[in-house]
Amino acid sequence: MSQLIIFYDGGCPLCVREMRHLKRLDSRQHMAFEDINADDFNVRYPQVSFQRANQILHGMNAKGDLLYGLDVTHAAWSLVGRGWLTAPLRWPIVRWFADKAYLLFARNRNGISKLLTGKRRCDVCSID
């Protein structure tokens, strides 16, 4: 069983790029990746709201607890031995600002994807 399931937007080029990177680094296969746009997503994960997951990154740990935003990011990078890169984003004072910045990024991820990748959305993106 995975220690972390990440629910990501498979239509977002930047999101897919990060999931591919994490998957490559996850040599011990501690993570599973679920595209919130999959046809059967709501059937398989009824406890995860598509609308909410489309606004903020969601994850689920092995206990079944939901994680959100940068908590998911930090958990994922910790599982691949690079949590030190994201740990400062979870420090008490920095956390508030980092979470606000993340929400701004998440809300504008399609435009940011267009600037950085040349694609606003992808029709078929895969992390495989």
Q: Summarize pLDDT for 88-122 with one digit per residue, the tens.
A: 999 999 999 999 999 999 999 999 999 998 889 98
Q: Maximum distance among all alpha carbons in the chain? A: 40
As given in the structure block, the two tokens for residue 84 are 């030190």
Q: 87 in a domain, yes or no? A: yes
**Number of compact structural domains in the chain:** 1
Percent of the chain topping pLDDT 70: 98
Q: 15 in a domain, yes or no? A: yes
Question: What is the pLDDT at residue 123?
Answer: 74
Question: What is the pLDDT at residue 44?
Answer: 96
What is the residue range of 45's domain? Answer: 4-117
Question: What is the pLDDT at residue 124?
Answer: 66
Residue 127: band (very low, low, confident or very high) from pLDDT cuts 50, 70, 90: confident
Better pLDDT: 34 or 123? 34
Q: Reply yes or no on whether the pLDDT at 87 is more than 90.
A: yes
Better pLDDT: 105 or 123? 105
Q: 126 in a domain, yes or no? A: no
Residue 1: band (very low, low, confident or very high) from pLDDT cuts 50, 70, 90: low
Contact indicator for 16, 126 with CB cutoff of 8 Å: yes
Q: 68 in a domain, yes or no? A: yes
Q: 42 in a domain, yes or no? A: yes
Render the burial of 62-88: b for 16+ CB within 10 Å, e for the rest.
eeeebbebbbbbbbbbbbbeeeeebee
